[in-house]
Structure 1
Amino acid sequence: MSVPDASQDRIEREIQIDAPIERVFRLVSEPGWFIGDGEPGKTTTTREGDVFVVDFPPYGRFPILPVTSDAPHYVSFRGGDDPAQPLVEGTSTLVEFFLSERDGGTLLRVVETGFAALYPNAERRAAAYEGNVEGWEMQLAFAKRDAESG
Structure 2
Amino acid sequence: MIMTSSDVSTDRIEREILIMAPIERVYQLVSEPGWFIGDGDPSKRTITREGDVFVVSYPPYGRFPVLPVRADAPHYVSFRGGDDPETPLDDGNSTLVEFFLSEHEDGTMLRVVESGFAAMYATAERRAAALEDNSRGWEMQLAIAKRDAERP
TM class, shorter-length: over 0.9
Cα displacement string for residues 5-47 of structure 1 (whole angstroms, at most 9, x for unaligned residues): x722110000000000000000000000000000120110000
CA RMSD of aligned residues (A): 0.8
What residue in structure 2 maps to residue 102 of structure 1? Answer: 104
Deviation at 1:90, TM superposition (A): 0.8
What residue in structure 2 maps to residue 70 of structure 1? Answer: 72
Deviation at 1:70, TM superposition (A): 0.2
Q: Which amino acid aligns with 1:114?
A: G
What residue in structure 1 maps to residue 4 of structure 2? Answer: none
Q: Percent identity?
A: 76
What is the DSSP-based 3-state SS (H/G/I as helix, E as strand, rest coil) of the residue aligned with 2:17?
strand
Report 1:1-150 matches (<5 A): 7-150=9-152
Cα displacement string for residues 81-114 of structure 1 (whole angstroms, at most 9, x for unaligned residues): 1111211101100000000000110000000000
Counterpart Cα distance in 1 of 2:55 and 2:42: 16
What residue in structure 2 maps to residue 3 of structure 1? Answer: none
Query: Structure 2 stretches of 5 or more lacking a match?
Result: 1-7
| Number of matched pairs | 145
TM-score (norm 2): 0.93
What is the DSSP-based 3-state SS (H/G/I as helix, E as strand, rest coil) of the residue aligned with 2:54?
strand
Deviation at 1:123, TM superposition (A): 1.1
Query: Structure 1 stretches of 5 or more lacking a match?
Result: 1-5
What is the DSSP-based 3-state SS (H/G/I as helix, E as strand, rest coil) of the residue aligned with 1:23?
helix
**After the TM superposition, which segments of 4 or more aligned residues of structure 1 sit over 4 Å from their partners?**
none
What is the DSSP-based 3-state SS (H/G/I as helix, E as strand, rest coil) of the residue aligned with 1:34?
coil
